[in-house]
């Protein structure tokens, strides 16, 4: 059987289990998110070192607005501190920071630091670190559809020009390649409205490990399994 044998170009991660990690340790939920931010640092550095082309992290979903206001505020503050605190690391590792999602609905203080980090790193040529913020997969498809409808109405686009390839250009990151590997921590077997269009053929890897405990060794396990998977994209074995 032909094994894939390769490193994924694009890894996407659903970072779940921060709350359960904290509860297990009798800590406040925010402590779980803080520990989760540490894991983000380590995994980002590892992926950049390994020549992964893109790492996309589900940092805040549209559904996360349903959480208590206090937790949301603390998460936003943590995000701001991360954006400011990681600028040196991003520069040293030649990382280009980007974001997907309805970022224009985030608090101003987050948007401001996000655009500074994006601007400062836009010429970097190494790994792309893409933060999914106020992101929802269905919303992304709706937002793309609206842009397409607008262009159709204005006569800039013809109906027959709408294809899978051209549709992609209207998504939040038109130049992003589809994730090859989708990792979910915290054990749930769900996609949770993440990258619905883009993960059509992604290999899924789920671990019971909570995100704050996710380290280089877990990443290595995921990569080893990915290398052994056979990707057929609906075709037959060679
Ligand atoms: C899910 O855990 C995680 C989140 C909702 C937020 C993810 C945020 C971080 C990892 C930290 C900040 C991110 C960056 C980029 C600095 P959960 O609270 O749903 O866990 P549970 O399912 O155990 O309750």
Query: pLDDT tens, 96-153?
Result: 999 999 999 999 999 999 999 999 999 999 999 999 999 999 999 999 999 999 999 9
The correct answer on CATH 3.40.50.360 for the domain covering 6-227 is no
The Å distance, Cα 80 to ligand 1 centre, comes to: 15
* Confidence band for 154, pLDDT divided at 50, 70 and 90: very high
Mean pLDDT of 25-48: 97
Protein residue with its CA nearest to atom 12 in ligand 1? 37
Distance between CA atoms of residues 36 and 42, nearest Å: 10
Mean pLDDT of all residues belonging to the chain: 95
What is the position in ligand 1's atom list of the atom closest to the CA of 188? Answer: 22
Mutate to test the pocket of ligand 1, among 13, 19, 136 (most ligand atoms within 8 A of CB): 19
Per-residue pLDDT for 10 more than 80?
yes
Pick from 88, 83, 77, 75: which is nearest to 99 by CA? 83
Task: Confirm or reject: Cβ of 18 under 6 Å from ligand 1.
Answer: yes
Q: Are 216 and 46 in contact (CB under 8 A)?
A: yes
How far are the Cα atoms of 55, 175, 181 from residue 78, in angstroms, in the given order?
A: 19, 28, 27
Report pLDDT digits (tens) over 197-212.
999 999 999 999 999 9
Q: Kindly state if the Cβ of 79 falls inside 6 Å of ligand 1.
A: yes
From the alpha carbon of 21, which atom of ligand 1 is closest? 23
SS3 14: strand
Other CB atoms within 10 Å distance of the CB of residue 87: 15
**Ligand 1 and 152: CB distance under 6 A:** no
Task: Pull the structure tokens for residue 162.
Answer: 């709408």
Active site residues: 16, 64
CA 187 – ligand 1 centroid, Å: 14
pLDDT at 5: 65
| Whether 59 contacts 131, CB under 8 Å | yes
CA 168/CA 233 separation, integer angstroms: 18
Yes or no: say if 118 and 149 are a contact pair by the CB < 8 Å rule.
no
33 C-alpha vs ligand 1 centroid, how far in Å?
5
Ligand 1 mean position, distance from CA 152 (Å): 39
Q: What is the spatial distance between Cα 68 and Cα 223, in angstroms, rounded to a whole number? A: 36
For the chain, domain boundaries: 6-227
| Six token digits for residue 195 | 């990258």
Residue 236 has a pLDDT of 76
Across 52-155, the runs of DSSP E, i.e. the strands, are: 54-61, 96-100, 128-135
pLDDT given for residue 231 in this prediction: 73
Is there an atom of ligand 1 within 6 Å of 36 CB? yes
Section 25-52 average pLDDT: 97
Which residue has its alpha carbon closest to ligand 1 atom 22? 17
């Amino acid at each position: 059987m032909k094994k894939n044998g390769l490193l994924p170009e694009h890894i996407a991660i659903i970072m779940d289990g921060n709350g359960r990690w904290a509860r297990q340790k009798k800590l406040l939920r925010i402590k779980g998110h803080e520990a989760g931010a540490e894991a983000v640092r380590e995994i980002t550095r590892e992926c950049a070192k390994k020549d992964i082309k893109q790492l996309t992290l589900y940092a805040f979903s549209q559904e996360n607005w349903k959480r208590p206001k206090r937790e949301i505020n603390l998460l936003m503050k943590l995000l701001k501190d991360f954006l400011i605190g990681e600028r040196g690391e991003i520069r040293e590792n030649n990382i280009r920071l980007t974001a997907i999602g309805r970022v224009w609905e985030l608090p101003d203080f987050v948007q401001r630091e996000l655009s500074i980090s994006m601007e400062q790193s836009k010429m970097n040529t190494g790994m792309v670190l893409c933060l999914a913020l106020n992101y929802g997969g269905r919303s992304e498809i709706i937002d793309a559809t609206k842009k397409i409808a607008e262009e159709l109405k204005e006569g800039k686009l013809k109906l027959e020009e709408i294809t899978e390839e051209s549709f992609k250009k209207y998504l939040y990151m038109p130049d992003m390649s589809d994730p090859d590997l989708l990792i979910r921590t915290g054990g749930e077997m769900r996609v949770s409205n993440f990258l619905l269009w883009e993960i059509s053929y992604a290999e899924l890897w789920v671990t019971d490990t909570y995100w704050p405990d996710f380290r280089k060794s877990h990443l290595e396990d995921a990569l080893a399994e990915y290398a052994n998977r056979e990707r057929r994209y609906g075709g037959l074995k060679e």
